[in-house]
Structures are given as structure tokens and as C-alpha cells.
Chain A
Amino acid sequence: MKTRKFCATVLIITLSLVLTGMPVCADNPKEIKIGAIYPMTGGAAQAGWDSRQAIEVALEIINTTKHKDLGIPLADTEGLPNFGGAKISVVFADHQGKPDIGMGEADRLISQEKVAVLTGCFHSNVTLTASQVAERKQIPFYNFESSSPRLHQRGFKWFFRSTPHDETFSAAIFGFLKYLKEKHGAKVQTVAILHEDTLYGKDSGTIENDLAIKAGYKVLAVIPYRRAATSLTAEVQRLKALNPDVLLPTCYAADAILLAKNMKDLDFNPPIVVAQGTGQIDPSFVETLGASMVEGISSRNAIGPDLMESIPKLKKANALFRERTKAAGKERDFSGPSVRCFQGMMALAEALSRAKSLSPEDIRKAIQETDLKTDQLVVPWRGIKFAPDGQNMFGDAVCVQWQGGKMVTVWPEQFATQKAIYPIPKWADRK
């Protein structure tokens, strides 16, 4: 009995010595794993698919020298130049649009897949829960496209976000309204806010309400609705009865389509509609409804598709994205979220290259020290540089408008490719 106990003790001591003595990771790994949690199934699965393609385009640029001519950091080297040419690989996980699943996947990616950085999750409410796991486990969470302001206001140490958020975006909406008022003589006195009722919509509604009051407009109503509603007729009727000068909707794709249909059915004609992105700028919005139904609807956007012609780097990156999506089954242009996703992935890789280590703290420090200038980016931002709260301080937004089935940039004036339409044609006057 004694011998057995002795043997067991020796075994335990030896094992623990061997295991703790082993290096946690090699100094020059061949591969850095990143975990990406996106909605691959469920209502927003298209966005998840787009994000995946955008990330894979970025990986091809980072890991190979095929696209040297792009002229952005990491395009002309194989792998990460400062990190012994290490390549980046991404493990994708599906959260189905559900915060609890996002949390579980974050946990699994960190503890089982041993990823160095987490990214995702498109939906703000899923990013919220998944990044809590990363914070607890002290692994950087680098968000590319979620726009709820609450995300960077939690005092987290391990959370970073390269995209501008809804406060920046909403400021663009009100900048556009001011411009319409001053340059087009538009009547902008009353606004109505309609938003879907998850984190993204609620935060957007709150900020829009604050900004509208600050700008001296009268807010007639703030109406939340259930994203998976069977109909929005009640909401639209209420809006119609209020008769606002401006409608500010915040929707995801399927409900944005339903809203437009119901507005037509009930002959609701607000002269100005400026959306908080996502639904109204999703390619399926015009594909499903057709050009006439969407005419004149505006939205804030990270970028206008016409800018993809006027910014050469973006044009090249978009061509790569089209190539990849075509090979994957459905050719698409960059959308607002997917271009931000691509840009975020490139910036994250640049930070990883500087980190020169797999230690979470080194990576966190390298991300915090990111300082990219406009000419190193494909999007028209002033740069990427993180405030202490992890938010990129130099992201910008534009306002786009549907004109003749095309999404054109109408604000700010220095980027505008077309003059804004005011007012939106009434339903009765359209074909």
C-alpha cells in the first residue's frame, strides 16, 4: 500500500514538473489561430456568409504574396513579416443569432481550439455576451462590425472595435438632415423613430432620440417592434397617423423589406427616410423589392458602393471579394458590414505581426498601439487608432441613397457622387 502511494506521489510530482516546464508555445509559431463567431444559420446567415468571405479574402492577402499590388500593409509579404512569417488561420463558429450560443462558442474556441484572438459576432447583442467570455479569460476580442455604443463603454480591458459605432453613424444621419434642410430647403421639424427591439435597434433608437432633441427637432414617437414580426401594419399605421417629416428606421434585412412593403400597402409617404444602415443597405433590400420601391430611401453607411470606383485600393479589394464570392456560389459586392469586416481583419493582422508573440498581453498591447493612417486602409476613414476604451477614434460614416436601383453617396459633400433626392416620390407617383 505504502509503495503504491509513494509511486503515485512520484508520478504526480514528475508529471507536474514536466508539464509546467514545457514551453506553452513555440517562439516562432507557423500559425496563429483566430476564432470568428458569426451567424452562419438563422435570419442573418447571409451576413455571416459575407463576413466569412471577407475574412477569407483578407487571409489570402495576408498569407500569400498573390496580391502585392494592393498597396496595403501585409499584402507584399507571405505571412506576418515581423513574426517570422507566421500565417493566420481562422476557425469559424456559428451563433445562429443567439447570445447564449455565442457565449458558448467563445468559451469553446478559447478553451478547446486555443485561439489567440476572438472576433465576431455581427449582432451587437451576441458580441456583448461573447466578449464577456473573452474578458474573463483575458483573450483579446477584436470586433469588426457591431455598432452598439454600449460595447466599448463597459470598461473592458480586452475589447477592441475597429468600426465606428452608432453614435458616429447617427451623427452622420443628423449631419445629412442638416444638409437637406440648408441646401435643399427640406422641412425637417418632426421626426419619428422606428427600431427593432434587440440591442442594435434599442441603442440606435436611444441615440437618435437624444441627437434629434439636441438638434431641436420634435420627436413624435419612438416605436420599437419585434424583429420576427409577421406584419408591421400596426406600426406603419401609427406612423402614418403621426405624419412625421422624417422617418428614422433601424432594421435588419428581412424586417426592412417588410417595412417597405407595408409602407406601400398603407400609402405612408414620409418625405425623408434615413435608416441606421444594415437592413436598408443590404444588397437583398433592392434585389427583393426592386428599384422603384426603394427609390429615395437614405441610410448612413460605412461606405458607398460608388466609392468603390473612386477609391483605387477599395476597388481592387472589392474585385477580390467578388472573385471569391463568385467561386463560393454567389457573386456579391462588399456591403457596409463586410467591408468593415475586411478592413478590421487586415488591421488585426497588422497588430498581430507587431505583437511577435502569442501571449495575450503582448497581443493586447500591440492592438492598443495600432496606428494606421488613411493611406494604409481601403475604407475612407481618418485612420485606425484605439482610445483607452478600445474604440477606434478615427472611423467615419457617409450617407447613401437609393437612386434608380443604385446606392449612391450623397453626404458628406466632399464624397458625394450624386445630389440627394428630396422629397421621396409618393407611392401614387411611382410606376
Chain B
Amino acid sequence: MYTAEILAQTLASGLLMGCIYALIAVGLCMIWGLMEIVNFAHGDMMMHSMFMAFWLWSLFGIDPLIAMPLIMVILFVTGVLVYFIIIKRVLKAPMLAQILSTFGLGIFLRYLAQFLWTPDSRMVQEPWLDGRIDIAGVFIGVPQLAASGVAIIAFILLYFFVNRTELGGALLAVSEDREAASLMGINSDKMFALGWGIGAACLGVSGAMMANFYPITPEVGLLFGLIAYVAVALGGFGSIVGAFVGGVTIGLVEALSGVLVAPAFKYVFVFGVYLAVVFIRPQGLWGRY
């Protein structure tokens, strides 16, 4: 029953999905690495960027691919605003207050979407990126392939930004030691806002790309958000490479266990791998702590 073709198809599907998980996780990882705050509104912010892509397409006929830079900018600004309006106030508060503030933001965003746009599922029909490629019986969706490509490019850019530029260095410095960085003249407030902006902008990219092929509902962010947390924890909190590897691993485990074992168990394997990693290496694969 399991021919080479099926295995190849499974690997391809898993990789494609994994890259998308990874891009979502990278944004979450930025925020955590910088200030050790878990953004529980992550999935819901992505849902809003998907809705943005949908409405730009539906009302103005702008293809999600064209809308992507715009959505990225809007999400960047949103991220910065979220930092100044909510996060800054709870920075020194107990961890529980931080968790609840982002959690509350997530619920607010979800029900706002439900209120504004009803719970109907929607979809961008006939986007520019459509159809599929058939490589010797292995089908690869064009929008999924493009989304994975964009995810990889975004990841590489982000990696170089953080590790090779002065601003990125400043970000790293703040995440290493807030006070020492302040003494060196780095404005940690601005860096935090930048981190939130970039984290949210990643969601703008992933949301716009996913709008090409994924049904959009106010609930869509829930499981994607959860998987992003697992990816980040798997890869190691604060490591961008780790988050990417974590995302891809989850995509592959999900696809392989679903086909080889039984679909009903696919999340058992995903979360099982996560638990195994946490037992053996609590800081995650690439974690620093």
C-alpha cells in the first residue's frame, strides 16, 4: 500500500506545511527571545492578517501576493502598538499578568473578528497563485510551494538581520542583558517595540500567503497558534533557527504519522515528540537557557 510515490507525496506535504508552521513560529520566537513574554494572541493576529488579505481581495480585487507587503506593514505597526499599549505596562508585572494580558488580547481579537465578519468561513477564489504541479505523481500545490518559499526567504532575511546587522546586534544585546545594553546607549524600549513589530510582521507574511489556499474563519488561528508554541518550545525558546527546525519537524511528523500510522494519532505524535524533547533537553534543541 505504501509505494514510493505515497511516501514522496507525504514528505512533500509535510515539508510544505512545516515551512508555514515555521514562519508562524519564528515571529513568536522573536518576541519570546527578546523579552521572555509568550504572545498568546499570536494565532489570532495571524487570523486577522488572513482576513485582511481576504478583504483586500474581496473589496478591491488586490491579490494576496500584492497585498502581502501592505499587510506586513500594517501588522508591523500593530505589533508596535500592542507593545506600547499593552505589553509595556506589564513588563515588570508578574508572569501571570503578562500571560493573561496577551491571552486576553487573543480572545478580544477572535471575538472582534466574529463580531465584524460573522463566523462564516471564507476563501480567496482563483488567486494568482493557484493550481498544482505534478512531479511524477507527486502533487505540490503552487500556493503552498510559494508560501514555503516565502517562509524560507523571510527566515533567511530575519536570520541575517539579527546576526549580521547593527540593529540586530542591538536586539540581541537587549535580550542578553537589558541593563547592560541600556548602559551602552541602546534604548531597550525601542528594541522591544521593534521585536514586537517584526514578530507581528512575520504573521502578516504568513497570513497573506496562507490566504491563498486556506479557508479563513475567526477560529483559524487557534491550532496554528498552539503548533507555533510547540515549534518554539521544541526548537528552543529564543532561537530563530530552532523555531524554524521545530516548525518543519512538526510538519513532517504530522504528515508521516498521519499516513503511516493513523490520521487520528497525528497530533499524538506531534505532541509526543515535543514531550520527548522536553524530557531529554528541557531548553529545546537549540535553546540557550
Task: Identify the A interface with B (CB < 8 A).
Answer: 41-46, 49, 197, 223-226, 228-235, 237-238, 240-242, 253-254, 257-258, 261, 264-267, 284, 287-290, 330
Contacts and interface: CB of A to CB of B under 8 A. Distances in A.
Interface of B: 1-3, 6, 9-10, 13, 17, 111, 114, 118-123, 125-126, 132, 134, 139, 141, 144, 213-215, 217, 219, 222-224, 227, 254-255, 257-259, 262-264, 266-267
7 contacts: A43-B217, A44-B119, A45-B119, A234-B13, A234-B266, A265-B132, A288-B121
A225 B263 contact: yes
A84 to B, nearest CB: 40
B17 A42 contact: no
4 smallest beta-carbon distances between A and B, as pairs: A234-B258, A45-B119, A235-B263, A233-B13
A400 to B, nearest CB: 20
Given A233-B255, A257-B121, A228 B139 contact: no
A237 B139 contact: no
A233 B17 contact: yes
Nearest to B119: A45
B9 A237 contact: yes
Contact of B123 (A231, A240, A257): A257
A234 B255 contact: yes
A267 B6 CA distance: 12
A237 B259 contact: yes
A284 B121 contact: yes
A234 B120 contact: no
B216 to A, nearest CB: 9
Contacts of B262: 223
Given A41-B114, A234-B258, A234-B266, A228 B10 contact: no
B119 A228 contact: no
Contacts of B227: 230
Given A46-B119, A49-B118, A238 B213 contact: no
Contacts of A261: 213-215
Given A254-B219, A258-B215, A230 B120 contact: no
A46 B121 CA distance: 9
A269 B40 CA distance: 39
A45 B115 CA distance: 11
Contacts of B263: 223-225, 232, 234-235, 238
B132 A253 contact: no
Contacts of A266: 9, 13, 139
A287 B54 CA distance: 14
B118 A228 contact: no
A235 B258 contact: yes
Considering residues A197, A242, A289, which has the most beta carbons from chain B within 10 angstroms of its beta carbon?
A289
Given A266-B139, A288-B121, A234 B215 contact: no
A253 B121 contact: yes
Given A43-B119, A237-B259, A231 B264 contact: no
B248 to A, nearest CB: 14
A230 B114 contact: no
A421 to B, nearest CB: 22
Contacts of B224: 230
B185 to A, nearest CB: 44
B119 A42 contact: yes
A25 B254 CA distance: 59
Contact of B223 (A229, A257, A267, A330): A229
A197 B264 contact: yes
A240 B226 CA distance: 29
Given A234-B10, A264-B132, 15 more contacts: A41-B111, A42-B219, A43-B219, A45-B118, A46-B119, A223-B264, A230-B224, A233-B255, A237-B6, A237-B255, A261-B214, A265-B132, A266-B139, A267-B134, A290-B125
A430 to B, nearest CB: 11
A330 B120 CA distance: 11
A286 to B, nearest CB: 11
A288 B122 contact: yes
A181 B193 CA distance: 65
A227 to B, nearest CB: 10
Contact of B215 (A44, A49, A226, A254): A254
A235 B125 CA distance: 24
A405 to B, nearest CB: 12
Contacts of A234: 10, 13, 254-255, 257-259, 263, 266
A41 B254 CA distance: 29
Nearest to B219: A43
Nearest to A289: B123
Contacts of A225: 263-264
Contact of A288 (B2, B123, B222): B123
B14 to A, nearest CB: 8
A229 B264 CA distance: 10
A265 B213 CA distance: 10
A265 B144 contact: yes
A230 B222 CA distance: 9
Contact of B2 (A229, A230, A241, A265): A241
Nearest to B124: A288
Nearest to B254: A234
A266 B8 CA distance: 12
Nearest to A194: B263
A249 to B, nearest CB: 13
Contacts of A235: 258, 263
B225 to A, nearest CB: 10
A179 B57 CA distance: 43
Given A226-B267, A234-B10, A237-B13, A284 B120 contact: yes
Contacts of A242: 1
B254 A241 contact: no
A65 B134 CA distance: 62
Contacts of A289: 123
Nearest to A242: B1
Contacts of B9: 237, 266
